[in-house]
Amino acid sequence: ILTPFLVALLLAYMGDPLVDRLERAGLSRTLSVVEGF
């Protein structure tokens, strides 16, 4: 039961720097998340 939440947390933690970089490049946060994943 806990495994999917841990996987989601890990993906969010690992993807945040990429999303931040795309957001600094001018993309919206939502679009950055879609592009990053």
**pLDDT tens string 1-37:** 899 999 999 998 998 898 899 889 888 888 888 887 7
How far is the C-alpha of 16 from the C-alpha of 12, rounded, in Å?
6
How far is the C-alpha of 25 from the C-alpha of 10, rounded, in Å?
24
pLDDT at 10: 94
